[in-house]
Chains A and B, each alone.
Chain A
Amino acid sequence: MSRRVVVTGIGFVAPGGIGQGAVWDNIRAGRGAIRRVTRFDPTGYPSALAGEVDGFNPTDFMPMRLARKLDPYTQYAVAASQLALDDGRMDLERVDRERMGVFVGNCFGGWDFTDRELRKLHTQGVKEVSPFQATSWFPAAPQGQISIHFGLRGFSKTVCGERASGHIGIALAARSIASGQCDVSLAGGAEAPITPFTYLACGTEGVLVGPDTPADGAYRPFDAGRRGLVPAEGAAFLLLEELTHALERRAPIYAEVLGFGLSNDACHPALLPPEERHLSVAMRKALEDADVTPDAISYVLADGLATPEGDRQEAAALRKVFGSERRVPVSVPRTMTGHLYGAAGALDAGLAALSIQHGEVPPTVGTRTVDASLDVSLVTETTTPERVDHVMLNGRGSGGLNASLIISRFARA
């Protein structure tokens, strides 16, 4: 028997704000946070722009003794989890933590910590490397630290699904609740790729904007002059909860996780397939899983890779699924924060839930002239439709992974 899964808390640590309220206010106002990299000197790199988190003090969320053992991406994850728990008014003393899980999407691991320790290893020797290196760098570090910090012992998992990691993490968490493996889960993603090595790795994939691109309007998906994405750091977590559990404790309910689809192009480690084939498959699977028709989708939070081929294929997938008759509204609010890679899907899921609550569609900024050949109805200003019922969220990763998630208005019936 499948149980219903609702979103009862949202926590963001993102470029442009800490906390769901601050991030939502900036997103709906169209305020971008992309700028030249300040974490290191990007001169000579294939790109020079990023979305960076400002004003984050880890000791606002954890003791210094713990904070100094963690890479920033784990600090962001623990903080965003705390914010989601607070937002959802979750009293951990009154919940069965044996049935509370943690699902985290991540691509890169902890390379701020690792960059520093590798430098010590190669210049000063083995003895100088931090003993915490072993537990700070690997992709499951946030899941482990969140579990330990909050004492959560339920069914948990780390998802490394490239830029679709966050979508998949939320979907798997929802399924673990729906299937009865746990009742509550912290689900999201975390990344801190603005380090010399990881930023270079992002750049060598060939999907970033060039080094001379001005920050204003740099990330412009579906634009005739699109030039690639801008990477970003941060974390986003949702408190997911079985419906009865949420109702019994009178939790705030933002939305419901209704459907998920996953597919794989299986073509190349970094390149897209020659033609769109499997993103549309993932989108159709999500609709089927949610038991809603394409007409019911209020708008799509697109992957918006912003490369010529990436957007052409996503536009083709949109036409295949929604037909050429209906031009479904499409938005890419991560044009303001930058692309959070393994956390991007979680940020979008939180924005979708807030969008449903506020009855607004968040905008895409940066795009000036929509590529007419794509035939995409891009939302470039915050709009207030009659209702926001179902939001489709797309994510694509290198290696051909395609994920589609549907977040919906909660209805009691």
Chain B
Amino acid sequence: MLEEEKKVREVLAGLLGRNEAEFEPNASLKDDFDVDSTEMVEIVTMMEKAFARPLGEGAEKKIHTVRDIYALVGAGAR
């Protein structure tokens, strides 16, 4: 696992109170973890902090799966 992917999972686990292993690349944040629109804003904010770069305007609307976050932070999805 790439270092960036590990970091994404760590951030998600901290925010959503789940185990890092649960965040499979194809896992849906909405369907599998009940993430709502407000939590999605927080996820984007925390990812931007963790990776020290902006994810771009409207990033929260582009995220559906864990893999989408990998793509946005430039971790490369595998």
Contacts and interface: CB of A to CB of B under 8 A. Distances in A.
**Interface size range on A against B:** 10 to 19
A65 B45 contact: no
Interface string A98-135: 00000000000000000000000000000100111011
B17 A132 contact: no
A63 B17 contact: yes
B41 interface: yes
B2 interface: no
B38 A132 contact: yes
B42 A130 contact: yes
A64 interface: yes
A134 B39 CA distance: 12
Classify the interface of chain B: helix, strand, loop or mixed.
helix
B17 A65 contact: yes
Contacts of A64: 17
A192 B38 CA distance: 24
B71 interface: no
A65 B34 CA distance: 11
Contacts, number: 17
Given A127-B45, A131-B45, A65 B38 contact: no
A283 B41 CA distance: 50
A50 B42 CA distance: 34
B18 to A, nearest CB: 9
A147 to B, nearest CB: 15
Interface residues of B, number: 8
Contacts of A130: 42
B6 to A, nearest CB: 21
A63 to B, nearest CB: 6
A134 B36 CA distance: 14
A65 B16 contact: yes
B16 A134 contact: no
Contacts of A127: 45
B59 to A, nearest CB: 12
Contacts of B39: 131
Interface string A138-164: 000000000000000000000000000
A378 to B, nearest CB: 49
B52 to A, nearest CB: 13
Most buried by A among B38, B39, B41: B38
B42 A131 contact: yes
B38 A134 contact: yes
B42 A132 contact: yes
A206 to B, nearest CB: 39
A131 B16 contact: no
Interface in B26-63: 38-39, 41-42, 45
B41 A131 contact: yes
A238 to B, nearest CB: 31
A113 to B, nearest CB: 14
A135 B42 CA distance: 13
A131 B44 CA distance: 11
A64 B42 CA distance: 15
A127 to B, nearest CB: 7
Contacts of B41: 131
Contacts of A134: 38
The 6 closest A-B pairs by CB, nearest first: A131-B41, A65-B17, A131-B38, A131-B42, A64-B17, A63-B17
Interface of B: 15-17, 38-39, 41-42, 45
Interface of A: 63-65, 69, 127, 130-132, 134-135
Given A131-B42, A135-B38, 6 more contacts: A69-B38, A127-B45, A130-B42, A131-B38, A132-B38, A134-B38
6 contacts: A63-B17, A69-B38, A127-B45, A130-B42, A131-B39, A134-B38
